[in-house]
Chains A and B, each alone.
Chain A
């Protein structure tokens, strides 16, 4: 935990209300996110029990599996969920924009992308398992499922894969979003409870943060946000209701039992549904960070690319090959580096953390030679001098390169550091002429901020092709031949339709 975060937490504990950790929103929040609250049957890895889904606060859809141990019903649930999710995905494909390409023809990119919000990281884990259990299913043969079910699996897998990428906004857990923007006076473990977290952020009238958080720990007043259910509810309500469904002698009785189950599950889900929308309101009130649009563009790019491959493609592989794993890890790490830099540039409060550790400094320009030329080389080069006075703890030393946070691509060399003043020699970001472009060199009296870090340009990594996987990594994988119990192509064929359970 950084010093400023620790301070914010102490302050929150002292005052009884949450403290901001950010001044802008660092994630995209679309006009119409799909809120999805999954519940699973306890004791099972990924047996869906219920879900509350929708894009409008007033109009949640409630999906229920009357007997989660019955696999037909489970995949019936998957088909219902698929209808909602797939139509939402389709609605994001309404508009496109043209992206210029090298050949001048341009290509199309969707101007929107799906955005699914779940209460907590457990929700993502559950969706990943649900995606894994549905994307290889057959639509004909011995245990057929509806055509939309494997398709749902592929989309859920795309969402969960994409969610691993730092800075992506297509699938996000609400607790992490909130905890990234506000500090509470409780532990990070307690912050994982959406109700308790929101109690600190937005306590009901007349309550302090700690009181509201304590109230949220009562599962009767504030049922867990899933995917795990409250054990008390499991024993006292759910078990008798499932037993009643199993015992029901006829369709009518079974429908009545299902209705009772739906009412009970609605009571479990509705409080969380409200919490999700209140959280969205809180996040919407923050202005969006400057780099968020760019990161969302990456999400839309990935969405377009994946959507194009859906009709003819295969379900995603069960595991990454050695080459694919290495490529993905490098991509994730670069995204993380980029996110860290962009968050600091977008948000003075995040930058303050870096200023405290000496990785950045901010100050006032007290002297400047904007037209200074370096004449030591063959041709004179524009190298303006800036003297910056700062009260930040300084870690830079002579010869370091620093980057102007206020002007992308502007680098400077540290010439001298002396008791709170830094002499800088600007070396780029001023145009190509011998006189700087107007406005490109900070003037005396300007407030500037320089960082020791910057978003580096990375060339794409050189990796061997799959068929040249080296001997150190097991050699090239054998060509994939679908087993008797596996389907690979979409749409799956009837030839070998058996269930895959791993």
Chain B
């Protein structure tokens, strides 16, 4: 029995109040959510679906409504929400601000923040998507709305964060700064999470690297073979370092475009310029992606650029403005979670820094940035990051009762860098 079948069987047969499913990047999490929702409604249950952002809610609605046009779906939203095109395209979706409007609808879906405003009403089932991104205090606010729940998420991605830095709850099993799943498992230690074992997104070249660095004890494999995924260019490259980096990425799935070592401010002008030039060059050379889904050109909509900080994102967007690459998605790791592209370009979080803080060492950040692609990932950064890491071992305080988290961000960073060093292309001087 496959993992998905086991999960579906649990939904209707197990007596547990919670079912947890861990999913590595691109392992079919959304597909599972859609199947579980249809499985439950087919069995006559009504259910609520919780996602973390409006974007995620709309994505899920699109998939669910498309998979089952006969299923009536309610989309609970805030007053200032404007239905996106992909939601409005489905006639079986009703958007409203109050849950009363959905009494006849078996599926009601909203962001966790919206669910938290409800003071009454209860559903026999909930599906919580991206549950590792949700903070425990949010789960506390919505847990009264459902009897049983399926939690689905990726434990390797970014932990939920807080704008305040308080240690007073460290070690408490209900620490509100922890993720919803961490707190749920702490109070229900008998629950054993299911694990989806195959990544359908990551190519063979990336699955092993990402699994080793970020999922050391819960490894997964690529669902496709190396021969199935191929990236080629319509035009030959010239002699420059940009083209060498692109060729390396097309050949091996990875490229490390290395600028000379230097301490810089966060919006390192040279790095920003390099990443913009690489993106533009990628478009100019007319990349074509061949995969199990067939062959298609890699347009601006199939490329993403990721960075750690918002000001870096702004700087890169400004650098692309007015060029053919303007339409490319540029965003922070937080916003790229759950997204998928053919090729990604990443500004390394530690590039040009003098220190390595917990923020920059967080393994989830690098994991998100290096696991969005179906074909190739090009990382841009300055030389000297391994030395920087060696000078800044993690010094986070250790608290009693707080489970040690794997992987360690420092080690994960080293592991990825060690791999990237084999695909190094030095910038032209």
Contact = CB atoms under 8 A, between A and B. Distances in A.
Contacts, number: 96
Given A320-B172, A393-B318, A357 B136 contact: no
A9 to B, nearest CB: 11
Contacts of B164: 164, 166, 329, 332-333, 336
A463 B140 contact: yes
Interface stretch (B29-37, B84-92, B111-119): B111-119
Contact of A329 (B139, B143, B162): B162
Contact of A325 (B118, B176, B184): B176
A433 B174 CA distance: 51
Given A326-B176, A333-B164, A462-B118, A471 B17 contact: yes
Contacts of B169: 319-320, 325, 329
B137 interface: yes
B183 interface: yes
Contacts of A395: 314
* A interface bracket (residues with beta carbon within 8 Å of B): 20 to 34
B318 A332 contact: no
B315 to A, nearest CB: 9
Interface in B271-319: 310-311, 314, 318
B131 to A, nearest CB: 11
Given A164-B168, A320-B168, A320-B172, A462 B141 contact: yes
B404 interface: no
B408 interface: no
A238 to B, nearest CB: 28
A181 B84 CA distance: 45
A472 B139 contact: yes
Interface string A332-359: 1100110000000000000000000110
Contacts of A463: 140-141
Nearest to B354: A1
Contacts of B116: 461-462
B144 interface: yes
A474 interface: yes
Interface string A139-167: 00000000000000000000000001010
Contacts of B175: 325
A322 B174 contact: yes
Contact of B163 (A320, A336, A358, A461): A336
Contacts of B136: 326, 473
A206 interface: no
Contacts of B118: 462
Contact of A357 (B137, B174, B187, B314): B314
A293 interface: no
Interface string A449-478: 000000000010111100011111111000
A415 interface: no
A48 B316 CA distance: 54
Given A473-B136, A473-B139, A357 B17 contact: no
A472 B137 contact: no
Interface in A461-502: 461-464, 468-475
A235 interface: no
B41 interface: no
B223 to A, nearest CB: 32
A239 interface: no
Contacts of A333: 162-164
Given A470-B140, A472-B18, A473-B139, A462 B117 contact: yes
A358 B183 contact: no
B298 to A, nearest CB: 26
B183 A472 contact: yes
Contacts of B172: 319-320, 325
Nearest to A401: B80
A357 B140 contact: no
A99 interface: no
B163 A337 contact: yes
A319 to B, nearest CB: 6
Interface in B90-147: 116-119, 136-137, 139-141, 143-144
B208 interface: no
A47 to B, nearest CB: 21
Contacts of A329: 137, 162, 164, 166, 169, 176-177
B379 to A, nearest CB: 24
5 contacts: A326-B140, A329-B177, A462-B116, A464-B144, A475-B187
Interface of A: 3, 6, 164, 166, 319-323, 325-326, 329-330, 332-333, 336-337, 357-358, 393, 395, 459, 461-464, 468-475
Given A3-B266, A325-B176, A332-B164, 16 more contacts: A3-B265, A3-B267, A320-B169, A326-B140, A329-B166, A333-B163, A357-B314, A358-B314, A393-B318, A462-B119, A469-B140, A470-B140, A470-B144, A472-B143, A473-B143, A473-B174
